[in-house]
Structure 1
Amino acid sequence: MASNSRTLSAAADAGAPAPDNQWSSRLTFILAAVGSAVGLGNVWKFPYIVGENGGGAFVLVYLLCIALIGIPVLTAEILAGRRGGASPIRSFGIMAERDGHSRNWQAIGWLGGLCAFLILSFYSVVAGWALAYLGYAVGGDLSAAGGADDVGQAMGTLFETLLASPAALVGGHTIVMAITILIVASGVRGGLEKAIRWMVPGIFAILAGLVLYAATASGEFGRAAHFMFAPDFSALNWDAVLVALGHAFFTLSIGMTAMMAYGAHLQKDAALGSSAVAIAGLDTLVALMAGLAIFPIVFAAGLEPAAGPGLVFVTLPIAFADIPGGTIVATLFFLFLAVAALSSTISVLEPVVEYLEERTPLTRRGAALASGGAIWLLGIGCALSFNVAGDIRLWDHNLFDLLDFLTSAILLPLGGLLIALYVGYVLPERAVRAELAGIGPRGYAVLRGLLRYVAPLGIATVFVYGLM
């Protein structure tokens, strides 16, 4: 990995990254992008919002939103990254100048960089919860004795105790950030590629094992499959549709320019459209498999799927305590959750590091330490907002909730909307056609129509709804 900023800038101006700054293959890029997209949203959030919104009908709407909005905007973000060939901030300036537009369009990159910085500060705290629960599982703390009520109380107390401990939350956050900084500091081939080569296959292998266990040992796999895939439209309302739309957008890591940063390292001859479809398809597969792994275990324990955000950290551990081999299954599950979270944190830090590496004298390692250290400091505030700093409120939110709302309801949809509009209307059509060569006239027409009309309308709807 070339660490000199002048080398990277020259490569960016030439419109292509240096060879040692490229993914070694299109498959590696897809795996890296899948690793970015797969995370807590697939395993923690998706199952509980499916449970809260009635199951199959919600899943069907979610799949439609992935196809009609998620894939077009994901394609646009990767396209912009590859065409710019630099950090997201610099890429927009390069493209705008090349095509005769104002360099002020690089504000989209600034917006994405800010969003990535803020997201990682609290996402790493939640990733720390996954590490803590992995430790609980290995130590047998999730194997509680007694009746269902006793187990439920014990698991609820365990989670409350974790949140009340500044040392535990800051410690978990620190471990996550240290691993993330170490991987990103090693560069594209030396760090990111080596990490995702075992992370992403590991995610699918562990998840496949959990689904197999749920299918053979729970006795409730059929009920879970019916719950997830048999639509009951009476359980669907407008709020559920908007939740599906919002999650389809956010689960693909769209809007914070992480996919732009990854796309900048993609070879010019790699098929971009099919890559985006593969990324979205594999990300969605993980979410559906997570549901098929979780719901049979929940049903077998006589618990409710509509447990909300506590489904993974409270309800599911109750189920683990009540099933044969629960300690082993719990260990595998939280290992899966921790690895999925880490595969996302490295992609969120990457665009911030790329910009510092380009625009300052810092080396890749220095940029990773500087940006990661700043994020770590802000993350301490997020961790402490659950305990000693819980009374500090900004606009009636603690710091963790405020950053969550600011990024998910404002910055992410705004960034995604601007990227869709830039590629759909500002970037010359000849450039878009050149980047999407190979998808055919009909495919191009459909994609362009979705990107210019359907996706902006859908994103704007989520944006307005989030502010209500």
Structure 2
Amino acid sequence: MRDSFHTRLGFILAAAGSAIGLGNIWGFPTQVANHGGAAFLLVYLVVIVVLAVPALYTELSIGHAAQANPVKALTMLSQTSRPITAASGKTIGYLNVIGAVLMLSFYHLVAAWMVAEGLTSLLTALNLTALTHWTDTPSILRDIILLLVFVAFTFGIVINGVQNGIERWARRLMPLLVVLLLGLIAFIGTLPGASDGFRAYLVPDFSSMWSADLIVSAMGQAFFSLSIGLGGMMIYGSYLSKGTRLGRLTWSVAALDTLVAFLAGLLIIPALYVAMAQGLSVTEGEQLIGEGRLIFQVLPDLFEQLGAAGAWLGFGFFALLSIAALTSTIATAEVPIAYAIETHQISRRKAAGIIAGCISLIGCALVIWFEPLFNWVVTYVTQFQLPLSGLFYFIVLGWFWQRSNRVRELAGTQWRYRLLFWHLRLVCPLLLAWVFVDVAL
């Protein structure tokens, strides 16, 4: 008998945890700041409704209907009178498993860097500065050790299954993440320059609202922020009982993810303006610095300038990022684990051990041969695998999946469901193809 979620709340917290990753905390805020402030936020909210929620519903529906891992689910629901459709479903399913393993490999390395920054801040706050040399000095040994520690955390949770592992830890980690986020916002809000950051974040620049660049950026951010395209949401959907109605659950997950992304903006943008008030450089041309340099250069420099309070602030911030990373890795890890259990009939413990070993080996290879491998793996997963899989999910639901397709069945009863079906069948694939082409170019 397959494991399953015990409660609706447990599923919502786990699925939202999967969606709430590093992209929400370092990607979304700078996208907002660099695209007209709240104007981007308004477009983003529209895009969530038009594209991201349908994409999330589609992935959950595929897993829920098949009650299986992505390889089996996509193969089963892609079966039509033409054998090529089932073959394409199986291919995308295998790409989901491979993509999940690759994503976990580089994500655990990024998480290792965050753990190093957090430990450095904690040791500094405790006046144990003599011990910070190891954590604060990048090295192959440091990165490998911390990567393996984070892998142990991830698989130490998923090895216990859905109810006793994923759901139980989602109930612990998600409230802690929100509390940390609110506490950091409150502290940053008291510092000089923060009010300018709140203004830049919350006041819209409507002149840029209708630019194609803003709209495409909003679509890309909305799609990627909900963790769609690697099968994590599909496998979570498969752990819901057959009679579960997915509509409200989908909206709840999307709403919680969007709320955390919004709160992250209330932290990051004011923090950048506080850094600016401290004399730090936070821009490149007319754009605010984002992503890697924001997290590992600008903000640590700010925390250092704030003295003892800054050390505790830095520890809290990197603890926040580490929790966000962990809630994402435990969801993604379930994709290859479920495939191994259901396809090769092995125990969860053995499957978790094999997958953890593979991820550790690939992760160590990324550390050792960082320059030629890291950017290639990240680019493959984020710019190719995610949009391609998301596009294929829409094709499965709208074109391949015939029997037991609830959306297709409802389309024959009321006009609003007919509109929804054609929205999923045509509009969403075209919008996602637009994002795919824009990213590829």
* TM-score (ref. length: structure 1): 0.83
Q: Does 2:431 correspond to 1:458?
A: yes
2:340 touches 2:351 (CA, 8 Å); kept in 1? yes
Q: Which residue of 2 aligns with 1:114?
A: 98
Q: Which moved more, 1:246-255 or 1:445-454?
A: 445-454
3-state SS, counterpart of residue 139 of structure 1: helix
3-state SS, counterpart of residue 335 of structure 2: helix
For residues 55 and 251 of structure 1, the distance between their equivalents in structure 2, rounded to whole angstroms, comes to 18
1:142 touches 1:321 (CA, 8 Å); kept in 2? no
Q: Which moved more, 1:87-96 or 1:410-419?
A: 87-96
- TM-superposed CA distance for 1:117, in Å, is 1.4
Q: Which runs of 5+ in 2 are unaligned?
A: 128-132
Pair 1:47–1:172, CA change in 2 (3 A):
farther
- TM-superposed CA distance for 1:184, in Å, is 1.3
Q: Does 2:286 correspond to 1:312?
A: no
- TM-superposed CA distance for 1:224, in Å, is 2.6
Q: Does 2:172 correspond to 1:202?
A: no
For residues 352 and 424 of structure 1, the distance between their equivalents in structure 2, rounded to whole angstroms, comes to 26
User: How do residues 178-189 of structure 1 correspond to structure 2 at under 5 angstroms?
Assistant: 178-189=152-163
Q: Which residue of 1 aligns with 2:150?
A: 176
Q: Which residue of 2 aligns with 1:45?
A: 27
Two-structure CA RMSD over aligned residues (Å): 2.8
Post-superposition CA distance 1:82-118 (Å, at most 9, x none): 0000111111233345x76643222221121121111
3-state SS, counterpart of residue 454 of structure 1: helix
Post-superposition CA distance 1:286-338 (Å, at most 9, x none): 11101101222321232536012211221112222334722222211111110
Pair 1:141–1:240, CA change in 2 (3 A):
farther
- TM-superposed CA distance for 1:272, in Å, is 0.5
2:230 touches 2:389 (CA, 8 Å); kept in 1? yes
Q: Which residue of 1 aligns with 2:196?
A: 223
User: How do residues 90-129 of structure 1 correspond to structure 2 at under 5 angstroms?
Assistant: 90-96=72-78, 102=83, 103-104=86-87, 105-129=89-113
Q: Which residue of 2 aligns with 1:275?
A: 249
For residues 142 and 454 of structure 1, the distance between their equivalents in structure 2, rounded to whole angstroms, comes to 55
3-state SS, counterpart of residue 35 of structure 1: helix
Post-superposition CA distance 1:33-86 (Å, at most 9, x none): 001001111112222333343432222332222221110010000000000001
Q: Which residue of 1 aligns with 2:9?
A: 27
Q: Which runs of 5+ in 1 are unaligned?
A: 1-6, 8-17, 144-156, 391-397
For residues 114 and 242 of structure 2, the distance between their equivalents in structure 1, rounded to whole angstroms, comes to 38
Q: Which residue of 2 aligns with 1:79?
A: 61
Identity of aligned residues (%): 35
Q: Which residue of 2 aligns with 1:433?
A: 407
1:31 touches 1:197 (CA, 8 Å); kept in 2? yes
User: How do residues 373-452 of structure 1 correspond to structure 2 at under 5 angstroms?
Assistant: 373-386=357-370, 390=371, 398-428=372-402, 431-433=405-407, 441=414, 444-452=417-425
Pair 1:47–1:160, CA change in 2 (3 A):
farther
2:26 touches 2:290 (CA, 8 Å); kept in 1? no
For residues 354 and 393 of structure 2, the distance between their equivalents in structure 1, rounded to whole angstroms, comes to 27
Aligned length: 423
User: How do residues 127-276 of structure 1 correspond to structure 2 at under 5 angstroms?
Assistant: 127-140=111-124, 161-162=137-138, 165-215=139-189, 217-234=190-207, 237-276=211-250
1:273 touches 1:436 (CA, 8 Å); kept in 2? no
* TM-score (ref. length: structure 2): 0.88
For residues 31 and 61 of structure 2, the distance between their equivalents in structure 1, rounded to whole angstroms, comes to 31
- TM-superposed CA distance for 1:434, in Å, is 8.4
- TM-superposed CA distance for 1:191, in Å, is 1.2
Pair 1:441–1:283, CA change in 2 (3 A):
farther
3-state SS, counterpart of residue 312 of structure 1: helix
Pair 1:82–1:36, CA change in 2 (3 A):
same
2:30 touches 2:269 (CA, 8 Å); kept in 1? no
For residues 315 and 441 of structure 1, the distance between their equivalents in structure 2, rounded to whole angstroms, comes to 54
- TM-superposed CA distance for 1:159, in Å, is 10
For residues 120 and 71 of structure 2, the distance between their equivalents in structure 1, rounded to whole angstroms, comes to 41
For residues 168 and 207 of structure 1, the distance between their equivalents in structure 2, rounded to whole angstroms, comes to 27
